[in-house]
Chain A
Amino acid sequence: MKVHLYAVIHNHPQHETLHLLHWRTTLDLKSDLSYWIAMKKEKAMVLLQQPLAFDIAYLMQQQLNKSSKAFSLTDNKNNRDSAQKIIHTHVVTNLQRAVQSLPKDRGCNIAFSADLLQYFTQRDWIAFMQKQQHSKTPLMPTPSQQEAWKTVWFTQVYTFMTTQNISSQFLTVLAEFMEGRRLLLTELQQYAQQYTEAAQRQLQTHLQWLLLEQKLAWQPAIMRSTKPRALWSPHSWFNKSDVHCLRCGCHAASLQMTPCSACDLVCYYCPNCMTMGKCRTCTPLFTRVTREISNRLTPQVAKNDWDDMTISHANTNPNIHANMTEKIHTISHSNTHANSGANSTEQDQPSLAKWHLSPAQNEAALTGLRFLKQDRSIFHSLPREEDRRCFAIWAVTGAGKTEIIFPLIEHELARHHHVLLTTPRRDVVLELEPRLKKAFPHTPITVLYGGSPDRWEKAPFTIATTHQMLRFANAFDLVIIDEIDAFPFHNNPMLQYAASQVIKEDGRYVFLTATPPVQIQKSIKKKQMDHVKVPVRYHRHPLPVPIMKHVQAIKKWNGLPVLLKKALQSSLERKAQIFIFVPAISYVPLVVKKLSKAFPQTAMAGTSSVDEDRGDKVMQFRQQHIQIIVTTTILERGVTIPNSDVYVIDSDSTMFDAAALVQMAGRAGRSADFPNGKVYFFSKERTKGQVEAMKQIKVMNHTARKKGYLR
């Protein structure tokens, strides 16, 4: 989009004779004129008549404000024409410098800058007004600028100010709404649509007003990073341009460049986060400004506007002023984990009783609470500070992870903190919603996923799919990420960037996982990340340990292998439902065919990610209409069947790493009634993945036995 660039001529705060130019970009010129002329009683402004692409205007504004110097008009007090001349030369030199500093990759750049300078050398582009002190109509333009459009502008301003189109109610609503969000203009328009029709029409005016009051900030959605790059980074040797998408963090390699008719230049657009609205170089992203940032941004001009700002959470947090001894006490215990810390937290016991947790869950919750209670400022001097604000709950499959986080959420909500719970999939969000609403009946909960009804709602507690994080920035004190090792979060730089953006400066992460990814395991080992292990299921029976069987690879099968057939027969006699996992989609129909030949009476189905009625088949499997389901890794999590056995065929395949095998093994023996499900690995070779998975399961069982959690 195109915006206007203008400068307000302020008096210098110290010297009365000097003046300063303060450059701004605007979405809606009417707002600006009424703000500076009617509210702030400024004397004059310089307006660049030609609208510019937003990012160009933004960069020029920054450059101009950096290089703006005070200048004097005193000699020409009574001579408006010569005052204009001084401003003219001052502005032109500044603008020339700013134009030179613009990026060279916007396609039409050279032609553009020549164009622009041409504008500046003509005299008619400056709209310069001086407030006439004794006149009744201070808004009359100077005689030399009575061209049609300017006169129109100022009369419009005049009526605009008398009708008072700015509604303070809508301003506060908007400012409140933008708290912790980062949105495109199109998204804001969608929000305004559900508000009122008048709001929709007046949205840009009000947004601009908030920008002027410095409650909002806007930035080009795709821009050049301002940080100087490290010399040793190979990226800086080969990739010259350092452009990235501000919303999803993806870099120039994945950005696309196209001519844009919104700004008449060549724009980058970001294909990665396009599902949430298109980010272009010339589209602005709006964010709410917190007090600290704004003080840094603006030197002396608009400090007075800050009286009605909201106070950041750091000041309201009662914990922040806890005394130092307590801090040291908690930190010393948190690193040595569960056992030793039990005494110091006895006072928490009654508050946990209402959640009816098993002993292992209880202990995990206590450790988590201790992590939340420690003051983060103590970490500032320590290495790898970022990892230290994370807490990993490493709980075996079926341990009841959701129940463990209830006390943590309650703790944060009691301190008026904002909590986000993200999970990878939409159906998990929908499944969690009633459980959490039941657990926290007095807390409003927002549920966000693609197409959810309360898309623009705001509540202290938010449950969302991982992609919804892109709409937030600097919003939450506690971010709980469920299944951190699962698709789509794992190895997805976009979502990881989003996760790093949504958190407040002193916020914390809690990761929930049964199979932590390697980097988190490393951090845990080095004691850089706080963690707790929950080695036992909620029903306090040990995890079923996989049994390895030597069988040919699927490719070489003639009919079913005898070992597999025997095992299946005994499972079917037990009336257990059976998961059969194969490494590739193409094996699914093959295995189903061979099975149906061997067991013609048994109901079975095969499904994979390309199957359109997967939902139906899984549903039937859950309702026990199907006894055997043949599938790939897509069903490795989320499906819980009370009495089930797990068969992994070709478990030596590279498709199955230790994490996948542990997850698949975790499908068996989930319920308290049938805790002894069987898990079989059928393979030709003994691979690292299988050995590691079995080791993980055995170690967890061992720990559980040692701590006395097992029944």
Chain B
Amino acid sequence: MHAFQHSDGYIKWLMQSIKNVVQGKREVCLLCGAAKSNQTTLKLCAKCVHDIPWIKHLQCMHCGRAAHCPDCKRNEIKYIHANRSAVSYTPVMKQWLALYKFRGQEMLLPLFVDMMIIGMETHYHPLLAQRKANIIVSFVPTSRERNIERGFNQAQQLAEGVALYYDLDCMQLVDRIQHTEKQSRQNREQRKIALRDAFHFNPASTHVVSQWRQRRVPMIVLLIDDVYTTGSTLNACAKCIVQALPDAVVYSLCWSRA
């Protein structure tokens, strides 16, 4: 329609391109579009960086919570050696995750990966001192239906990002069988029931198992997920892995801890 299109003519486009070349493209905050802050490596403005509730001091050494943790005393999470998270799951963080996970803004992925890496550096540096060949990065799978519906698996994308940064192997060790109701809509008991038998060891990775057995070194599996709420999902995944690989130690790294 002509009446509308006068505004984006070639001259305007040309001027914009010249401006870009001369000034250099300004980096902007991924979330709010304001100018990027120089104080941080994250692609965020000063205000958004300020909103991030980093976990710095741990109260629970098992699940990596920044607050007192009654859950871990129940001793239900047996298969995960330890969990660490980068941030606390505050309402603001919930909004950020919703933008990426449910609205599907995949351009936010680098931001989340960067945050995961910061979490890794602060909490898991002894882990990184290990030989790289001994560590394998894996992730919590989603069901096929949800994968098709959403177009991506957030945990997989995060795991691939982290693995790429540290030059580690990333591989899907666990498969999801049932199509369970969304976790975020369930309470603790429902989650437990839904997760029973939801996972099994991925047959495609059995050759990895045999390789490991030959090398006879204790292997470290780093499981990655977006949110650690009760830990039951991660625990169920870890159970599958430990059953298939009895000498593996499973650590987990989540983007946030609820």
Question: Which residues of A line the B interface, CB within 8 A?
Answer: 1, 186, 233-235, 256, 258-262, 267, 269, 271, 274-275, 278, 280, 384, 386-387, 390, 491, 493, 496, 499-500, 509, 511, 517-520, 522-523, 529
Contact = CB atoms under 8 A, between A and B. Distances in A.
17 contacts: A1-B148, A235-B13, A258-B106, A258-B109, A261-B148, A269-B106, A271-B105, A271-B107, A274-B105, A280-B151, A386-B1, A493-B8, A496-B4, A496-B5, A500-B4, A518-B6, A523-B3
A384 B1 CA distance: 10
Given A234-B10, A258-B109, A261-B148, 15 more contacts: A235-B10, A258-B106, A260-B152, A261-B152, A261-B153, A262-B148, A269-B104, A271-B105, A271-B107, A386-B2, A390-B3, A491-B7, A519-B3, A519-B7, A522-B6
Interface centre among B13, B106, B149, B150 (most CB of A within 10 A): B106
Contact of A258 (B1, B3, B5, B152): B152
B103 interface: yes
B152 A274 contact: no
A184 to B, nearest CB: 12
Contacts of B153: 261
Interface in B1-48: 1-8, 10, 13-14
- Which 7 A-B residue pairs are closest in the complex by CB-CB distance? A519-B6, A496-B4, A500-B1, A386-B2, A261-B147, A262-B148, A258-B106
A499 B152 contact: no
B104 A274 contact: yes
A517 B6 CA distance: 10
Interface in B142-186: 147-153
A235 B8 CA distance: 12
Interface string B124-148: 0000000000000000000000011
Nearest to A261: B147
A254 to B, nearest CB: 10
B139 to A, nearest CB: 13
Given A274-B104, A278-B104, A384 B152 contact: no
Contacts of B148: 1, 261-262
B106 A256 contact: yes
Nearest to B106: A258
Given A256-B107, A261-B153, A278-B104, A387 B13 contact: no
B151 A387 contact: no
Nearest to B5: A496
Contact of A234 (B13, B104, B105, B152): B13
Contacts of A500: 1, 4
Contacts of A517: 7
Best-buried of A233, A256, A518 by chain B (most CB within 10 Å): A256
Contact of A267 (B6, B10, B151): B151
A480 to B, nearest CB: 14
A496 B1 contact: yes
A491 to B, nearest CB: 6
Contacts of A274: 103-105
A186 B149 CA distance: 9
A260 B104 CA distance: 11
Nearest to B144: A261
B152 A386 contact: no
Contacts of A234: 10, 13-14
B204 to A, nearest CB: 14
A269 B151 contact: yes
A547 to B, nearest CB: 33
Contacts of A390: 3
A51 to B, nearest CB: 11
A499 B2 CA distance: 11
A499 B4 contact: yes
Contacts of A280: 151
Q: Which of B4, B6, B7, B109 has the most CB of A within 10 A?
A: B4
